[in-house]
Structure 1
């Protein structure tokens, strides 16, 4: 009797293991194909990447290991930004998918925006600031966070979707945690959504020039001016003498 139960349990456990392995393999192929279509880089694992952050979903689940990592860059309204997408595996299971968009400016305050339905309590929870739109804000510094939380930030956060348990701002990144089974199309929309948040907290400064030269728009204008100037010079130049081959 016990032997039969043990055999059934073994078969059932093996079935679950094979199912999980099949799901992981399918997700790996899907993520790899998505990276290829976008011209992004793909890595099966990166144990150090989650350690770049300590807030939001990384604090909730533990930094763990990054699986099926996609790295690249994408355009937002305020320019091109670096992005990461990866499965966060902690405790031997994939708990969430992290999407991250880099900002040029590094903010000293961490702002976590959680949906109320998430059991977001943890051992070292940031300070509760209060409701922000349909989410609750937990921050590392209340006075510093108030400057970041504007009506534009609230509007941008509302657009990312209620299936995203938490979006947060940490150092030079805007991040969000999606369900483990999120498809590439959903992750594309999420990247656009947190890209809008990045534009809000790190807007393009028309007065500032990046180190090492003029802004892209300025450089483009200067190229146009130079081409127009060369055109005028060509028009004003005397007719050239015929080449020997034309003679």
Structure 2
């Protein structure tokens, strides 16, 4: 009988250990809230997206982490991603119609400055702090509309920033589906205000000599 109790106790301990291991290593959103939210909005869902880990380098990305819990699709004709940087933050990324070589960062005044040394302090914009790679351009960006916008951005949107033809925002990793919707709305408005950024130079096209149909064409 004692052997039976010993076996039962061992099985109970093994089961408890397995449950603790699963609970420790599962993603905080194991209830598939992001997957359900994505499906309701016509977005695709993936548990991981390693390729996205190499797309962006500013904002909350300097520390390399896994990109997980990914919703992807189009929003108002532009590519949209909502995902988590594992155990760090939730990120909303919206592709802009035009890219710009100028970087712009708008963040809560409670946060430390950007890690990138080339992002220079511009100053307070409403209740937030702005940084840019070009302070002259930042003066054009930070007009009355941007000041008014900065005062309306939800507090849970910690950082908004640009990278080439992307606008991105970071939210707490425990943010809710309603927060994701509000974060997208804030990012769309932010992207619209960034239309004043100078566009990236278009790729140079090779000049093609006019061809006279009466003579053979010699390349």
Q: TM-score normalised by the shorter chain: which range applies?
A: 0.7 to 0.9
Structure 1 residue 145: deviation in Å?
2.3
Report the equivalent of 1:136: 129
Q: In the superposition, relative to structure 1, how do residues 147 and 51 fare at CA in structure 2: closer, same or farther (>3 Å)?
A: farther
Structure 1 Cα separation of the partners of residues 93 and 27 of structure 2: 26
Structure 1 residue 108: deviation in Å?
1.2
Structure 2 Cα separation of the partners of residues 201 and 22 of structure 1: 34
TM-score normalised by L of structure 2? 0.73
* Larger fraction in strand: 1
Structure 1 residue 199: deviation in Å?
1.7
**Is the counterpart of residue 88 in structure 1 residue 91 in structure 2?**
no
Structure 1 residue 147: deviation in Å?
2.4
* Larger fraction in helix: 1
**Is the counterpart of residue 23 in structure 1 residue 24 in structure 2?**
no
Out of 82, 90, 104, the position equivalent to 1:97 is 90
Q: In the superposition, relative to structure 1, how do residues 53 and 157 fare at CA in structure 2: closer, same or farther (>3 Å)?
A: farther
Structure 1 residue 123: deviation in Å?
6.5
TM-score normalised by L of structure 1? 0.66
Out of 109, 129, 147, the position equivalent to 1:154 is 147
User: Mind listing any 5+ residue stretches in structure 2 that lack a counterpart?
Assistant: 1-15, 197-219
User: Mind listing any 5+ residue stretches in structure 1 that lack a counterpart?
Assistant: 1-10, 204-247
Structure 2 Cα separation of the partners of residues 128 and 58 of structure 1: 19
1:100-137 per-position Cα deviation (integer Å, ceiling 9, x unaligned) = 11110112111111211113463746211111111111
Larger Rg: 1
Report the equivalent of 1:233: none
1:54, 1:63 within 8 Å by CA — same for their partners in 2?
no
- Report 1:1-247 matches (<5 A): 15=20, 18=23, 21=26, 23-26=28-31, 29-59=32-62, 62-75=63-76, 80-89=77-86, 94-120=87-113, 122=115, 124=117, 126-202=119-195
